[in-house]
Every structure is written in C-alpha cells, then in structure tokens.
C-alpha cells in the first residue's frame, strides 16, 4: 500500500512524506481502498476496470479524493496488444524448437528419435555434450559423441535439457537470471508433485512449471516507462501480481496464457498457466500442481504469497499432504538443476 501511495503521489506531484498532511491522508485512503478490493477477488480479466468504476463512483460521492482516484486510473498503461507485440520479438521459436517440444514433451520418444533431433542442430548437440561433461556428472573420460552423451545422461534428463535449451534464450537479457533459476526450480518441483499425485503426466508438469511465468518475463522485457514502473513497484515491495493488476488490469498468468495460445500450446497447459495463482474452480490438475510448487520452489521474492485456504484445497485436490510437498535437496534434483541452468 505504501508503494501504491508513493506512485500516486508521484503522479500528482504532491508530498506524501508527511502522514499528517491532508494530501497524504487522501492518498493513503485511495491506496487502501484499492488494495482492499484487489485482495478480495482473484485476478481475472476486466477486474481492474470494475474496481476503478467502483472507486470513481465513491469519488463522485465525496468518499474518496477524485484527483488521487484519477491518478490511480492513469497507472494502468500496459495493453495486452503491446505485451504480445513484445513477445513476437522474442528469440523463439525456430523450427528445431518446435521439434524439441514434440520430442521432449513426450515420454514415448525413442533413443533414435532424440539422437536424430540432437544431431540435426549443432548448438543443440553442443549443449548435450557439454551437459554430459559437466563437473557434477564427472565422466571417467571426456564424452565427445552424441550417442555417448545420451547414454550417459539418460533420456529423461536429456528431454529436460532440450526443453531448457529451447527457452533459455528468452532469459538472456540483463537481470533475468533469477527468473530463469526460479523457472527451473518450479519445473523440477512441479514434475515431482505430478509423480506423487499421479494426476498429470510428469513431462507436462515439467513444461508447465518451466513456462508458468512467461507472462511476467514478457512484462520485464517490454522496456520503456512501463517496464521501469513495473520494476519500481516490485523493488519497492509490491508482489508481482499486485503490480501487474495496477499496470495492466491482468496478471502474468493471463498474459502467459495468451502467449502460449499464440505459440499453439495445448489448451489444458494454457489454462493451467493462466490459473496458477488462482486455481480455485479450475479443473486442470496442472494449475493446482503449479500453485503448490510455487510454495516449494525458492522464489525471488516477487510472487504473491500462497493462501492457506487455497493450499489446503490444493492438497486435498491432489491427494497430497504438506510433508510430501516440503522442499527437498535431493541429489538428482540438484544435478538436474545444474544441467538445466547451464543449458
């Protein structure tokens, strides 16, 4: 709330540092009213417009400051069309990436299919051989051929490395490394939960975890005043979902769903990414898995905190309990994270 009040003060060019001042009091009243309404409802399309209409009505009734309420409406500056235009400039998807998704996302791909895919792209081949020779795997002698690398790593690890290779370029811009590491942690955690619950294929759960924040990535890569304001809100203590609702009227789940829909991802994966912060009422187990995994992985401090009531519902929906979902420093997970982060 303090962050929002400061942004309103900035827009109105008033001094909000004195809490006893009339202007500061009005700013805090508007900020408090807005935060209360945002927290009362899950993020969904059109919610911001409804809240702003209600607050404008309150301002007309003299119950909120009209100038501060108008400044609040002016904070919304990012349109979905602008966000999707940013996505079109991202370094994805070349033809090989589409083939990787088809092979790596299936548990039926054979050794020969994966070998042909890796052999078709020099960069891809280099990544797999590099992963096989990593310090954590410590082969007895250097591995120099693709068949050797695939045999040494194993097909399951290879699939994950391939997927990471496809999406890694999206996070090459400055300051996005923490988001990449969080995506890797989420992919591993979501896959593990899927294996425990048996309600979704682990390979799909891995992909959902890897892609759950693609909408947030697009917001960070927009550039200009919008990205600067988004970063300022997050750095000042606002969680990402709250900042997005202020600036866009939608959260990164909905933005991510639109991006994945444009990339022709399956509908159930699209819905799961859209609802990963608000799974109540969603029939897709993947949305619930990602929601729980968010609490397991080590976020970078900008995600909305999990709701205890929703977490309880998630455990019941997935047939799991809190002890099963606790973070674990498993050797295999550490190895996979190392391979994926370097992909």
Domain boundaries, the chain: 2-75, 78-91+174-343, 92-171
Q: What are residue 49's phi and psi, to 5 degrees?
A: -60, -40
Question: Distance between CA atoms of 314 and 160, rounded to whole angstroms?
Answer: 26
pTM: 0.79
Crossing angle of the two packed helices 267-274 and 252-262, in degrees rounded to 10: 160
Taking residue 323's Cβ as centre, other Cβ atoms within 10 Å add up to: 6
Name the nearest CA neighbour of 126 among 162, 180, 168. Answer: 162
Q: What is the pLDDT of residues 238-271, one digit of tens each?
A: 777 777 877 887 889 999 999 998 888 889 999 9
Structural tokens at position 212: 């759950």
278 Cβ contact list (under 8 Å, min separation 6):
42, 43, 44, 253
Q: Report the pLDDT value the prediction gives residue 301, as an integer from 0 to 100.
A: 47
**Of 183-192, 247-256, 268-277, 301-310, minimum mean pLDDT range:** 301-310
d(C-alpha 29, C-alpha 35), whole Å? 10
Rounded mean pLDDT of 100-112?
77
Buried/exposed 9-42: b ≥16 CB within 10 Å, e otherwise: bebbebebeeeeeebbebbbbbbebbbebbeeeb
**Nearest Cα to 255, choosing from 98, 81, 40?**
81
| Residue in this structure with the two tokens 């699209």, named with its chain if needed | 270
CATH number of 78-91+174-343: 1.10.3210.10
- The residues, any chain, with a CB within 8 Å of residue 272's CB and separated by 6 or more, are 208, 282, 284, 286, 287, 289, 290
Q: Output the six-digit token pair for 256.
A: 């991510």
Residue with tokens 């709701």: 307
- Using alpha carbons, select from 217, 225, 147 the residue that is nearest to residue 186: 217
CB 272 within 8 A of CB 287: yes
Q: Which residue has the higher pLDDT, 75 or 145?
A: 145
- 18-41 pLDDT per residue, tens: 544 546 677 777 777 777 777 666
120 pLDDT more than 90: no
Lowest mean pLDDT among 40-44, 118-122, 198-202, 293-297: 40-44
Among 125, 105, 136, which residue's Cα sits nearest to residue 339? 136
Task: Give the burial class of 56: count Cβ atoms within 10 A of its Cβ; 0-12 exposed, 13-18 middle, 19 or more buried.
Answer: middle
Is the CB of residue 60 less than 8 Å from the CB of residue 54? Answer: no
Number of neighbouring beta carbons within 10 Å of residue 224: 11
**Spatial CB neighbours of 329, under 8 Å, sequence gap ≥ 6:** none
Q: From 280, 284, 255, 259, select the one nearest 269 (Cα to Cα).
A: 284
Least confident of 8-12, 257-261, 292-296: 8-12
Give me the half-sphere count of Cα atoms (radius 13 Å) on the Cβ side of residue 41.
Answer: 15
């Amino acid at each position: 709330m303090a962050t929002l009040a400061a942004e309103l003060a900035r827009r109105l060019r008033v001094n909000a540092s004195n809490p006893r001042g009339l202007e500061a009091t009005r700013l805090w009243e508007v900020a408090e009213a807005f935060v209360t309404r945002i927290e009362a409802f899950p993020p969904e399309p059109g919610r911001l417009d409804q809240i702003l209409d209600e607050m404008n009505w309150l301002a007309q009734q003299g119950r909120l400051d009209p100038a501060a309420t108008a400044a609040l409406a002016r904070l919304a500056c990012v349109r979905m069309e602008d966000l999707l235009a940013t996505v079109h400039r991202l370094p994805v998807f070349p033809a090989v990436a589409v083939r990787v998704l088809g092979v790596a996302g299936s548990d039926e791909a054979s050794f020969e299919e994966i070998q042909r895919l890796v052999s078709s792209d020099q960069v891809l081949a280099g990544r797999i051989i590099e992963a096989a020779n990593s310090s954590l795997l410590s082969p007895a002698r250097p591995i120099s051929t693709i068949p050797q690398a695939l045999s040494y790593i194993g097909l399951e690890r290879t699939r994950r490395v391939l997927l990471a290779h496809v999406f890694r370029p999206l996070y090459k811009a400055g300051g996005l490394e923490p988001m990449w590491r969080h995506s890797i942690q989420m992919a591993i955690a979501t896959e593990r939960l899927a294996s425990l619950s048996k309600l979704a294929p682990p390979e799909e759960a891995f992909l959902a975890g890897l892609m759950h924040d693609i909408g947030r990535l697009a917001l960070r890569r927009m550039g200009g005043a919008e990205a600067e304001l988004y970063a300022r809100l997050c750095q000042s203590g606002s969680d990402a979902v709250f900042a997005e609702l202020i600036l866009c009227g939608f959260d990164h789940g909905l933005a991510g769903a639109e991006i994945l829909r444009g990339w022709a991802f399956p509908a159930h994966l699209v819905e799961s990414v859209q609802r990963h912060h608000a799974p109540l009422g969603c029939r897709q187990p993947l949305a619930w898995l990602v929601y729980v995994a968010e609490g397991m992985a080590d976020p970078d401090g900008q995600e909305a905190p999990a709701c205890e009531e929703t977490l309880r519902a998630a455990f019941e929906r997935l047939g799991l309990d809190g002890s099963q979902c606790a973070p674990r420093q498993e050797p295999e997970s550490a190895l996979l994270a190392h391979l994926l982060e370097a992909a």
